[in-house]
A and B are shown apart, each in its own frame.
Chain A
Amino acid sequence: MIAINFKSKKLSILKDIFSKPLYLAILVVAAVLYYFLLYTIIYMSSFRGIVILTVPVYMFYLLVITSAILITISIYGIRKRIAIKDATAGGVVSVVMPSVGGLVAGCGCSAPLLSSLLIPVLGSIGAEGILSYLSAYNVYILGILTVINLLLVYYQLHLLSR
């Protein structure tokens, strides 16, 4: 009974947030912004700006949507003055997740952005080793980033439902 109550309280907060035009507008704007952020980073991470997506397209959109939901709930929490620090952190994470996802969602055979980050530290051969592993597991990495978003959404709803 208690579990059901907690569940329905989180759901009712979600309903409260997304039934308001303001937060729906924030969700849409955030989704558009994050789409362009993710796409731009993939573009910059690709050989000569040629975008070759090596993860399923639905994972690309999942990451965008979950980041947008996370920031919308964070903004709700900030406006309601509930758990402001956690809400702010959630908002920051929602920006970081698509940024990281963009680094691995393109073709790993040539990743100039990551190469530039890794070569000065590891040398060209060492950098290529890491790039290769990131490329091999890029679908899992994007999955983990999406799950982190979802966990933070759940956590924020938990704080808001107290």
Chain B
Amino acid sequence: MFKMADNYSSSKENKEEIDKNLKGNEKKKFEINKYLPYILIILVLVVVIVLFANLSSELNGISNKLNSLSSAKPTTSVTPNSTTENSTILSDPSYNITGSLIVPPKSLPNDPVITANASFGSRLTNINQPLNKSELALFNNANDSYFEEAGQMILNGTFGGYVFGSTVGSNAEVKILDNPFVVNGKPSVIYFGSTTCIFCGENRWAMALALGKFGNFSELYKGYSSFGDHDIPTIYWAPAHYNQSAEDLGNFYSSKYINFISIEDDLPITGGFQLNPMSTIGARINATNNSVYINAFKFILQLNNFQGTPYTIWGKYNVLGADDADFGFKSEPSGNPSIEYKTHNMVFDNISHPNSEFGYLEYAGADLYIAMTCASINNTAPICSLPVIPKLESYEGYN
């Protein structure tokens, strides 16, 4: 009897324990269910953050590898005036051609100079106005000491992350080509950009300073980036079709060391950044029947590494983007570059007497372009003997 009572009480205890456990489990299950939606939302947030944090560098690495694989494919070598193409296995396309460069018109009746003043951000005052002699001299006869000073500032790390000229690493800004694009026996600087693009607008100042050290501009023109890309003051290589969809081909540059081949895509400047489809740009270039420009654009397409504008080639060096980007934004509200609030005269003043971050950064950007060009022409131009240039060639991996 006692045994039965014992059995009864222990089974009752067991049952109570089982009930307790069940209730506990139900409570736990209920709590997990209660927090599951929050967990899901937080999980999505974490995934998004981690995904974007890693995606850029990982996919950049993948796309760089894919690009290097595709550009390592066999290509044909083009010889001038040949009726048949020679099949030669090369790692990068090779061009050695003769021909004349395009000289653009000095004015465009449908895109006249605008003299009316307007507020910053929607301002086209003096667009397509040619630079006068003293303004041109800022680029044709820029003081060597400013290039030297800015170059030293690059080497000292003064500019932090705002100068981009490295050839090292999978995310390098500069790719070394096997062969420059040679026209009439000279290597070429090729520029492909857009009048609507803010980075092109900023970088043309540095480009003009660099090109001025190897040759001479007989004409340059005042311009702006598009309203949607902050309407910053810039210079154009030729009068721009700022009201329409078109290509501005050619410039007024001459040099005994290099050619300057400029392809500027246009869309209405009152809009935002936009690029015409490559097929459209190619068709317009083909319509000129100019073999230099046709082959230059073909060269760009064959390199197969276009990631945005500005896209430039300096002899043997292919720069994937701007090489400096100073919009003077440190003192301005987030997203509004302070150069947007400057007139052309203010920028000219900054360049003629660089006493600001903007001025020196433009010379720094120019220094990198100069170093690339010097490395491509065996340092034959006088500017190449500036003390800082060979140091920059070494520093950035151009030799």
CA–CA, A131 and B49, complex, Å: 22
Q: Are B308 and A47 in contact (CB under 8 A)?
A: yes
Find chain A residues with CB under 8 A from B18 CB: none
Nearest CB of B to A136, in Å = 4
**A152 touches B (CB below 8 Å):** no
Q: Are B56 and A113 in contact (CB under 8 A)?
A: yes
CA–CA, A50 and B164, complex, Å: 12
From A7-15, A16-24, A91-99, A153-161, give the one contacting chain B. Answer: A91-99
Partner of B41, one of A74, A107, A139: A74
Partner of A109, one of B48, B53, B309, B335: B309
Find chain B residues with CB under 8 A from A128 CB: 275, 278, 306-308
From B59-67, B78-86, B208-216, give the one contacting chain A. Answer: B59-67
Q: Which of B24-39 contact A (CB under 8 A)?
A: 37-38
CA–CA, A91 and B62, complex, Å: 33
Find chain A residues with CB under 8 A from B275 CB: 109, 128-129, 132
Type the 1/0 row for B145-172, where 1 means its CB is closer than 8 Å to any CB of A.
0000000000000000110100000000
Type the 1/0 row for A55-78, where 1 means its CB is closer than 8 Å to any CB of B.
001001000000000010011001
Partner of B334, one of A49, A53, A87, A135: A53
**B72 touches A (CB below 8 Å):** no
Q: Which of A110-162 contact B (CB under 8 A)?
A: 110-113, 115-117, 119-120, 123-125, 127-129, 131-133, 135-136, 138-139
CA–CA, A92 and B273, complex, Å: 31
Nearest CB of B to A36, in Å = 10
**A44 touches B (CB below 8 Å):** yes
**A101 touches B (CB below 8 Å):** no
**B325 touches A (CB below 8 Å):** yes
B59 to chain A: closest residue by CB: A116
Q: Which of B191-217 contact A (CB under 8 A)?
A: 194, 196-200
A48 to chain B: closest residue by CB: B164
Q: Are A109 and B62 in contact (CB under 8 A)?
A: no
Q: Are B56 and A48 in contact (CB under 8 A)?
A: no
The total of Cβ contacts below 8 Å across the A-B interface reads: 162
**B250 touches A (CB below 8 Å):** no
Partner of B63, one of A40, A48, A115: A115
Nearest CB of B to A88, in Å = 4
B48, B67, B277, B333 — which one has the most chain A CB atoms within 10 A of its CB? B48
Known: A52-B229, A119-B66. A136 touches B305 (CB 8 A): no
Q: Are A51 and B41 in contact (CB under 8 A)?
A: no
CA–CA, A48 and B159, complex, Å: 14
CA–CA, A121 and B306, complex, Å: 14
Find chain B residues with CB under 8 A from A124 CB: 67, 304-307
The DSSP consensus for interface residues of chain A is helix
Find chain B residues with CB under 8 A from A112 CB: 56, 60, 307
Q: Are B273 and A109 in contact (CB under 8 A)?
A: yes
Q: Are A107 and B37 in contact (CB under 8 A)?
A: no
Nearest CB of A to B44, in Å = 5
Find chain A residues with CB under 8 A from B329 CB: 50
Find chain B residues with CB under 8 A from A54 CB: 228-230, 272-273
Q: Are B62 and A135 in contact (CB under 8 A)?
A: no
Find chain A residues with CB under 8 A from B321 CB: 47-48, 110
Find chain A residues with CB under 8 A from B304 CB: 123-125
Nearest CB of A to B311, in Å = 10
Known: A54-B229, A113-B55, A129-B278. A95 touches B334 (CB 8 A): no
Q: Are A52 and B63 in contact (CB under 8 A)?
A: no
Q: Are B335 and A52 in contact (CB under 8 A)?
A: yes
Nearest CB of A to B29, in Å = 15
CA–CA, A113 and B38, complex, Å: 28
**B274 touches A (CB below 8 Å):** yes
B228 to chain A: closest residue by CB: A54
Q: Which of B258-277 contact A (CB under 8 A)?
A: 271-275, 277
Partner of A115, one of B229, B308, B322: B308
Nearest CB of B to A85, in Å = 8
**A31 touches B (CB below 8 Å):** no
Find chain A residues with CB under 8 A from B38 CB: 75, 78
Find chain A residues with CB under 8 A from B45 CB: 33, 37, 95
Q: Are B44 and A92 in contact (CB under 8 A)?
A: yes
Interface positions of A (Cβ within 8 A of B): 33, 37, 40-41, 44, 47-54, 57, 60, 71, 74-75, 78, 84, 87-88, 91-92, 94-96, 99, 107-113, 115-117, 119-120, 123-125, 127-129, 131-133, 135-136, 138-139
Contacts A95-B48, A129-B277, A135-B272 supplied; 9 other A-B pairs, CB < 8 Å: A51-B335, A57-B334, A92-B40, A95-B44, A109-B198, A112-B56, A113-B55, A119-B67, A119-B307
Can you report 28 residue pairs joining A to B where beta carbons are below 8 Å apart? A40-B49, A44-B52, A47-B308, A47-B322, A50-B325, A53-B335, A53-B336, A54-B228, A57-B333, A57-B335, A74-B37, A92-B40, A92-B41, A95-B45, A96-B48, A107-B273, A108-B274, A109-B194, A110-B322, A116-B58, A119-B307, A120-B59, A124-B67, A128-B278, A128-B306, A129-B275, A129-B278, A132-B274
6 nearest A-B residue pairs (beta carbon): A53-B335, A116-B59, A110-B308, A91-B41, A109-B197, A88-B37
